[in-house]
Amino acid sequence: MSSKIIVGLTGGLGSGKSTVAKVFCQFGFEYIDSDSLSKSFLEKESIIESLYKTFGDKILTENKIDKQTLRDIVFSSLQNIKKINEIMWPPVKQRIAEILQNTKNSCCLECALLFESGLNCLVDKVVTVSCALQNRRERIIARDGTDKFFDVILSAQWTDFEREEKSDYVVNNIGNIAHLKSAAKSVVSALKY
């Protein structure tokens, strides 16, 4: 790749973003997973304190965040999702901005809430992975064993149509891994030139 490019990779829950991200990595892109980065902030004292004040002591086990209990509370309502995003996104966005500013290589930032969080302003190009809703639900059931939180999480995310309208590239996941990887490779090739 001739020059550094920052790609924002987005898509709804269960759309296949991680599979597409692996293709970008195969072509030398550094990878930032906003979900993993967010989870690392759950160990920071200031975040623990804010979450405790917002959601109560039931989220704590031995002064640490009980991630399963927090997940159950947060995903019980759209209002709770908004509350946690208000707490988590500012420091996560700041950290991602620092990483992107300091990297010398092309980078793929995977973020389901790329537009909703405003992180799209930090990237050069946006790639959306779109997938039929039923396929996404089936993938989540296969991965998590349940679709308990699927609908409430979905309600907090932009639709595929909204993301596609704002994206530079769209990768349609029709449920076939070989097709998905091939479509992702086509996007990488287009970005290289």
C-alpha gyration radius of the chain:
17
Beta-bridge partner residues of 130: 172
pLDDT at 193: 57
Q: Which residues of the chain have pLDDT under 50?
A: 1
Q: Which helix (H) or strand (E) holds 147?
A: none
Q: Helix/strand/coil (H, E, C) string of 69-136? A: HHHHHHCCCHHHHHHHHHHHHHHHHHHHHHHHHHCCCCEEEECCCHHHHCHHHHCCEEEEEEECHHHH
Domains of the chain (ranges, CATH numbers): 6-192 (3.40.50.300)
pLDDT at 155: 86
pLDDT at 1: 45
* pTM reported for the whole predicted model: 0.91
Please write the tens of the pLDDT for every residue from 31-57. Answer: 999 999 999 999 999 999 999 999 999
- At 15 the three-state DSSP class reads coil
